[in-house]
Amino acid sequence: MNKELILFAKTLLRERYIEFEALLAEFEKSDRKTFVCRHRKLFEKAVFDTEEYDDIDEETLFLCFAIQTKYMYYADWSGEEYPGQVKRSVTNMLNNYKESAFKWDSKKFEATLDFSTLKRGEYLPLLFSAMDERLQTSGYRIAIFDNMSDTYYYCLLTNDDMQLVNGLQTDRFSILDTKIYAVYLIDKGFERGKILLYLKNKFSLPLNEMKTFASQPEIMLIKGNLITVSREKTEVEKIGGKVRIEEIR
């Protein structure tokens, strides 16, 4: 297991790291199929396909253990599975620090949002950021374990621990905070037609509005955490555009 994953696992799991270390030792000595059969519930709890046992590695094992022990939770990039999903998981993670339930006013938070302009996938980054701001006053931060998938793996760390691991990165994962950024299209590139089609589809624009809309010197494409804006940046650059990223919260 690489040193970055060891550092993060020790930081997050704390006294339960010893249990994970023993599980990891068993994993390294066993063939994949036997190990998965023996610990099937561990993987199913985190909704990993146990039929694809050859693809299971130390990172997958860590995620499954952290989820099973309620040190980490996950949510689809598109939004909560049910109202209050993230609040409930934050309360559960606070229990690991012997803290009381997380007090969060969903109605007050949602009153700050304009749902008529909110795009699919933008709600969760804003929710994470607002909750993180609230948690910081109690000495905690929300950290995102980004493994370049469509799933948010998120956990709770103390402020000091967050400073230790924030920005940790390998070619397989990154540890990110919940800051919110905006992505602006600043150059449509040489293949302008591709960018115009992209804008038309993204904003559901009628043809008679395209010229005026596209004439803006900068067009905000999306706002979200670093995972969301990095995905948008990659998509735009693939079709020849250039973007500017700005921290907004």
77 exposure class (CB count in 10 Å sphere: 0-12, 13-18, 19+): middle
The residue to which tokens 């022990």 are assigned: 69
Query: For position 245, what pLDDT does the model report?
Result: 93
Beta bridge mates, 74: 153
Taking phi over 0 as left and psi of -120 to 50 as alpha, with beta for the rest, 70 belongs to: left
Cα–Cα distance measured from residue 229 to residue 41, given in angstroms and rounded to the nearest whole number: 34
**Parts of the chain with a pLDDT under 50:** none
Cα–Cα distance measured from residue 108 to residue 53, given in angstroms and rounded to the nearest whole number: 44
Where do the domains of the chain lie, and which CATH numbers do they carry?
Answer: 3-68 (no CATH), 76-176 (no CATH), 181-247 (3.30.1390)
What's 179's DSSP letter? Answer: -
Backbone angles phi, psi at 125, to 5 degrees: -55, -40
Q: Which helix (H) or strand (E) holds 158?
A: strand 151-158
- pTM of the predicted structure, to 2 decimals: 0.78
Query: For position 50, what pLDDT does the model report?
Result: 67
